[in-house]
Structure 1
């Protein structure tokens, strides 16, 4: 994924949901955009004019609006980035598409498959370029593993096994994450960490041709970590999926809510000539904070395989691999390369539909 040369006119970005009090947009998108040549953050919108002004002053962004409707109409904005909670994605994405703007939406794109299909159809009808925040596939370690497999490091892939923890959806919840407990809001262990991770797994090893699944809510009541009050959780905190991938490899993936005292991210790829292991501290592979290990041939033990420097072509991020902006920046780099070359490698709304269909398939399999 070579970094394209910046053009004379940078891509003007408008971020919906950037707050002066912090949050994902401030921690991930702003530093990521600053690290990738060819972008210029020109506008933001927040929930009120007052909060928008505060964010504009804090981050030095010239155009600050109290509504997304104002932002999407501005000619200075070429790419609208939607970083708010999932239940608001539909209305904001549609507004940007109707204004003829390119859109990058955080994952999940829609609140369920039907919304996602609607948004993808709207983008196609308007001929607008779209992108979705499935950045795990842009993470240098994931791309390295993909190339190792493609180049035959493990030989023919026989099987893959993955066990991971969702960090959230455990015994306690953060007050700001209360909405993730409700199935109706679209944000769950299945759609967020599992969705990000299975997207990377299928990128590396191929799609599921056959699968079965079990899901359960083992903790229907969870505790607010600040107040101690209990709340009802209707989303599943256990997801087990097994099946067969393209090429015949057998796959087994188990996600559980919270964190484990033992293993929180362990992904093995086993083949006729060798083995690979990707390890980390949570099931959120989209953060990219994992290490790669491998052994092949006559090797008797796994050894760490450092990710070659060629997989990270952003000098501004040197030594910053533990920051959440690191992987997001590589996603922006891929988007920039696509726009410069007219290619379509970055995941778009059509890809989001494919991934939502897989999650819907898993949910339906678990319902039987």
Structure 2
């Protein structure tokens, strides 16, 4: 069975990630794209060989040749499109974050279950081959009992003193596009896939700049979001967790993951500069000895050097398999809602100076 897909927001992020990923998978056929302007929708459709182009997301959702609606617009606009898709009885795959409010994320999860459709959120690090390999090593006691999980990563180009013009709207918390919601959101999902879920957190969210410069313009805009994310916590298994996501004005400068166990230490770093942990393959070692990811973990027709396309393709592969097996894709809206509660707990912990349990 081929799943017919309509992509809402086809001229932005989806153009360089979702559309190429779908083009490489035989289980899907992109039948429609929608943008806010007819001209851009038709241009994207022509570039990707898509038969239908819309300037109205509602028209795409209602079309009979769309079975799965992909939501790849700005986060504040997600809920409207998702609700329309659920009311139309269509499957939904939403970009992360699911929405901009934790309570609303819970409501969307319940609505998706009530609609009886397949629903998923694009936290693609969960399906990265290297992440799944490390998760299996930890679960298989390759490093003994996990005692500590440490992660340091760059959140650039978010969180710095300068911001790109196309990202300036993210300087307001209502935009849902911050170093906490986007960068730490993806990175924490990746870490929890390997080390297990966080049970409690304490945090700091320093805001270093009241105003940030819009690159190339000399103008400044008010900044009401954090520039850094500092988290300490414990995992359900008892191990400690320490996470730092630092803002930067330019591209990311790498990451370091250390999983310390009673029988060894696993370390992961990027093989190439300028990429994020949920986009790329990793250099993995245990006590200084390289651990190579078996080819069996690489299940999509893309290479890690293709950037985010490879792991997003893995999300779609999981979606198709879940539908074929009559189960919910992972991560689904309920997982996304729990992840929103995690980020909300981090914000409360930073505000109150207390330790917050993750519901």
Alpha-carbon distance between aligned partners in 1 of 2:256 and 2:349, rounded to the nearest angstrom: 24
Contact 1:10–1:38 at 8 Å: present in 2 too? Answer: yes
* 1:175 paired residue number: 165
Query: Is 1:329 aligned to residue 313 of structure 2?
Result: yes
Q: Find the partner of 1:187 among 162, 173, 177.
A: 177
* 1:91-102 map, 5 Å: 91-102=80-91
Secondary structure of 2:7 counterpart: strand
Residue 72 of structure 1 is matched in structure 2 by 61
RMSD (CA atoms): 1.8
| Matches of 2:310 and 2:250, distance apart in 1 | 25
Report the CA distance shift for 1:187/1:66 in structure 2 as closer, same or farther (over 3 A).
same
User: Are 2:20 and 1:12 equivalent residues in the alignment?
Assistant: no
Per the normalisation by structure 1, the TM-score is: 0.91
Partner of residue 350, structure 2: 366
Any idea what SS the aligned residue of 2:31 has? strand
State how far apart, in whole Å, the 2-side matches of 1:199 and 1:348 are: 13
Identify if the C-alpha distance between structure 1 residues 345 and 303 changes in structure 2 by more than 3 Å, giving closer, same or farther. Answer: farther
Aligned to 1:312: 298
Mapping of 1:251-266 within 5 angstroms?
A: 251-258=241-248, 264-266=254-256
The 10-residue stretch of structure 1 (319-328 or 147-156) with the greater mean CA deviation from structure 2: 319-328
Deviations 1:137-185 (A, max 9, x none): 0011111110111111110111111111101221211111111111121
Corresponding residue for 2:357? none
Q: 1:102 to 1:366 in 2, by over 3 A?
A: same
> CA 1:340/1:278 → structure 2, altered by over 3 Å: closer, same or farther?
same
Q: Secondary structure at 1:76's aligned position in 2?
A: coil
Partner residue of 2:279?
A: 287
Note the C-alpha offset of 1:282: 6.1
Give the secondary structure class of the aligned counterpart of 1:321. Answer: helix
Please give the alpha-carbon distance, in whole angstroms, between the structure 1 residues aligned to 2:203 and 2:329. 30
Q: In the alignment, which of 349, 364, 367 is matched to residue 333 of structure 2?
A: 349
Aligned to 1:226: 216
> Are the structure 2 counterparts of residues 78 and 275 from structure 1 closer, same or farther at C-alpha, using a change threshold of 3 Å?
same
Q: Tell me the CA shift for residue 86 of structure 1.
A: 0.6
Bigger drift between 165-174 and 341-350 goes to 341-350
Measure how far apart 1:343 and its partner are.
Answer: 2.8
* Aligned: 1:248 with 2:234: no
2: distance between equivalents of 1:236 and 1:221?
12
1:165 to 151, 154, 166: 154
8 Å Cα contact 1:289-1:322 kept in structure 2: no
Choose from 2, 9, 28 the match for 2:17. 28
Question: What's the TM-score, normalizing by structure 2?
Answer: 0.93
The 2-side partners of 1:237 and 1:147 are apart by: 33
